[in-house]
């Protein structure tokens, strides 16, 4: 379930459960065993998120980081001590006297050095959830590009943390045709998109799910039946192909864009 909000929430949750302790680090699945052995006995001192990348900072003899990227399938599960016997897909388990956490199916779980961590930050664009983010840096790339805005929003070098749900929903909320080239996005449109993402994603961190429907458009307010989709939140277009648009009643469309399923309302999102 990982877009940027999930990763920032995980940074908070890992810190709450393990920061200031030296958890036992294991890799029941085996792919992280050597690094896990090196880390056991060292203290988790801080956690950090940038886009969809999670960093767990350990201080032993020097600074070391576990770099985690969940990819499409990765999942994290927290629980109270004592931990149950791990299943054979657990890539990484942390366990201290009060809690454990299991990581399964990540694209990346690797021990890295501070310079390697810096290199990752350097290839990522600004993250709406980070204080140090510069929205102008993102717009600089957007407004010089002939690529569609829907593809640019998915490009982590342009803006970090947006995924398939936020891209579809933020474009709907701003009535922007997903196929419009980035160069035709105005500065004020980008400003509105960015600040909307900041608010939506902060709420996503708080609630651990994506909700994008304005209060006046909720099923209750509109006299509609509640959503049926099981992805977790209330949305306008994501995974609503061929269903009626909440606002205009027209049919939501879907298409392949940037290797993912795009959803949009051609009537509401017309340039």
Give catalytic residue positions: 2-3, 52, 260
Residue of the chain from 45, 107, 186, 207 that contacts DNA (CB under 7 A): 107
28 interacts with DNA by CB under 7 A: no
Q: Which of 50, 91, 93, 173 binds DNA (CB under 7 A)?
A: 91
> Residues with Cβ < 8 Å from 10, sequence gap 6 or more?
49, 54, 76
**Cβ-based nearer residue to DNA, 121 or 239:** 239
- Per-residue three-class SS string for 158-222: CCCCCCHHHHHHHHHHCCCCCCCEHHHCCHHHHHHHHHHHHHHHHHHHHHCCCCCCCHHHCHHHH
Q: Tell me the closest approach of the beta carbon of residue 148 to DNA, in angstroms.
A: 12
Beta bridge partners of 99: 80
Nearest distance from C-beta of residue 206 to DNA, angstroms: 15
Interacting residue with DNA among 46, 67, 75, 121 (CB under 7 A)? 75
Q: In what order do the strands lie in the sheet with 24-26?
A: 24-26, 90-95, 99-104, 75-80
Closer CB to DNA, 29 or 269, in the complex: 29
Residue 239 in contact with DNA, rule: CB under 7 A: yes
How far apart, in whole angstroms, are the C-alpha atoms of residue 21 and residue 41? 9
The answer to whether residue 72 forms part of the interface with DNA (CB under 7 A) is: yes
| Single residue of 59, 87, 98, 113 touching DNA by CB under 7 A | 87
Q: Interaction with DNA in 134-153: which residues (CB under 7 A)? A: none
Joined tokens for residue 28: 């029941």
Considering only 16-24, 58-66, 70-78, 216-224, which stretch makes contact with DNA by CB under 7 A? 70-78
Q: Which of 156, 169, 201, 253 binds DNA (CB under 7 A)?
A: 156
| CB-based contact 52:160 (threshold 8 Å) | yes
**Segment lying near DNA (by CB under 7 A), choices 13-21, 60-68, 193-201, 253-261:** 253-261
154 binds DNA per the rule CB under 7 A: yes
Least Å distance between CB 240 and DNA?
Answer: 11
How many whole angstroms separate alpha carbon 171 and alpha carbon 180?
Answer: 11
The neighbour count for residue 96, using CB atoms within 10 Å, is: 17
Please give the structure tokens belonging to residue 161.
């943390």
φ, ψ dihedrals at 75, nearest 5°: -140, 150
Given the rule CB under 7 A, which residues bind DNA? Answer: 1-3, 6, 29, 51-52, 69-75, 87, 89, 91, 104-105, 107, 154, 156, 163-165, 210, 231-232, 239, 259-261
């Amino acid at each position: 379930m990982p877009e940027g909000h999930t990763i920032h929430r995980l940074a908070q949750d890992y810190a709450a459960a393990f920061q200031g302790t030296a958890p036992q680090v294991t890799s029941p699945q085996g792919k992280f065993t050597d690094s896990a052995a090196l880390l056991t006995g060292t203290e988790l001192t801080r956690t950090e998120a940038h886009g969809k990348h999670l960093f767990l900072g350990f201080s032993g003899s020097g600074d070391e980081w576990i770099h985690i990227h969940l990819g499409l399938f990765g999942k994290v599960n927290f629980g109270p001590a004592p931990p149950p016997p791990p299943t054979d897909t657990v890539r990484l388990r942390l366990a201290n006297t009060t809690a454990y956490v299991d990581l399964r199916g990540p694209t990346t779980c690797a021990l890295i050095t501070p310079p390697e961590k810096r290199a990752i930050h350097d290839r990522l664009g600004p993250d709406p959830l980070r204080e140090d983010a510069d929205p102008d840096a993102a717009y600089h790339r957007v407004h010089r590009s002939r690529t569609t805005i829907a593809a640019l929003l998915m490009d982590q070098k342009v803006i970090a943390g947006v995924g398939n749900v936020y891209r579809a929903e933020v474009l709907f909320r701003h009535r922007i045709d997903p196929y419009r080239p980035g160069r035709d996005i105005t500065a004020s449109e980008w400003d509105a998109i960015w600040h909307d993402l900041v608010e939506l994603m902060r709420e996503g961190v708080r609630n651990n799910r994506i909700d994008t429907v304005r209060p006046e458009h909720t099923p209750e307010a509109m006299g509609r039946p509640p959503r049926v989709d099981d992805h977790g939140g209330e949305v306008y277009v994501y995974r609503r192909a061929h269903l009626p648009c909440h606002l205009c009643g027209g049919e939501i469309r879907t298409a392949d864009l940037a290797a993912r399923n795009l959803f949009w309302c051609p009537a509401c999102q017309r340039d």
